[in-house]
């Protein structure tokens, strides 16, 4: 049986393709979901991709992931830089990998700080959709190692 994994995306990531294509590329969230499902299948993961602009909804999903022991790949988007509520929710989930499409460290100063990074297993940033691939492959490796 495949290991369930959630890919949770924060605010404005539903606008991929239309939003600042010079930074985030021209592919949409639907494209990201499709390729992540395909990568998941190849890696033995049953991947579910979600996106919300709501901090409360994202926190609710993380509570469910904590209660159900679901590993999470998380792109917290702008919440990365200031949401202590999100950080406290992430801290309750045993396996979270933080991802970013762009490299926030190479962008505006306010993006240099992640309040999330201290409570995740690791962070992958700067590789576009491949950031998600790298996170999924590490997650699959960890799942295989612990089974
Ligand atoms: C982002 C980087 C954040 O700084 C930004 O607010 C986003 C997307 C990324 O994937 O590169 O919305 O998380």
Q: Which domain holds residue 124?
A: 3-146
Cα-based angle 67, 29, 92 (whole degrees, multiple of 5): 20
Q: Extract the tokens encoding 4.
A: 């369930």
How far is 44 from 96, CA to CA, in rounded Å?
18
Whole-number Å distance, alpha carbon 146 to ligand 1 midpoint, is 31
Nearest ligand 1 atom to the CA of 125 is: 11
Query: How deeply is 91 buried, as exposed, middle or buried, from its count of CB atoms within 10 A (0-12, 13-18, 19+)?
Result: middle
pTM of the predicted model over 0.95 = yes
Q: What is the CATH number of the domain that holds 131?
A: 3.40.50.9100
How far is 41 from 14, CA to CA, in rounded Å?
23
Count of domains in the chain?
Answer: 1
From first to last of its 147 residues, the chain has per-residue pLDDT tens of: 789 999 999 999 999 999 999 999 999 999 999 999 999 999 999 999 999 999 999 999 999 999 999 999 999 999 999 999 999 999 999 999 999 999 999 999 999 999 999 999 999 999 999 999 999 999 999 988 887
Q: How many CB atoms sit inside 10 A of residue 23's CB? A: 10
Best mutation site among 20, 73, 77 for ligand 1, i.e. most ligand atoms within 8 A of its Cβ? Answer: 77
How far is 30 from 22, CA to CA, in rounded Å?
19
């Amino acid at each position: 049986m495949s290991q369930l994994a959630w890919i949770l995306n924060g605010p404005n990531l539903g606008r991929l393709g239309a939003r600042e294509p010079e930074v985030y590329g021209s592919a949409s969230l639907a494209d990201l979901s499709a390729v992540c499902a395909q990568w998941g299948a190849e890696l033995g993961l049953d991947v579910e991709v979600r996106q919300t602009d709501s901090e409360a909804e994202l926190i609710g999903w993380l509570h469910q992931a904590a209660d159900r022991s679901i590993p999470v790949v998380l792109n917290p988007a702008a919440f990365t830089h200031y949401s202590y509520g999100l950080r406290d929710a992430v801290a309750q989930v045993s396996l979270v990998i933080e991802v970013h499409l762009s490299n926030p460290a190479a962008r505006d100063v306010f993006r240099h700080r992640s309040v999330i990074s201290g409570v995740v297993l690791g962070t992958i940033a700067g590789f576009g959709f491949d950031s998600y691939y790298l996170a999924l492959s590490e997650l699959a490796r960890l799942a295989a190692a612990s089974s």
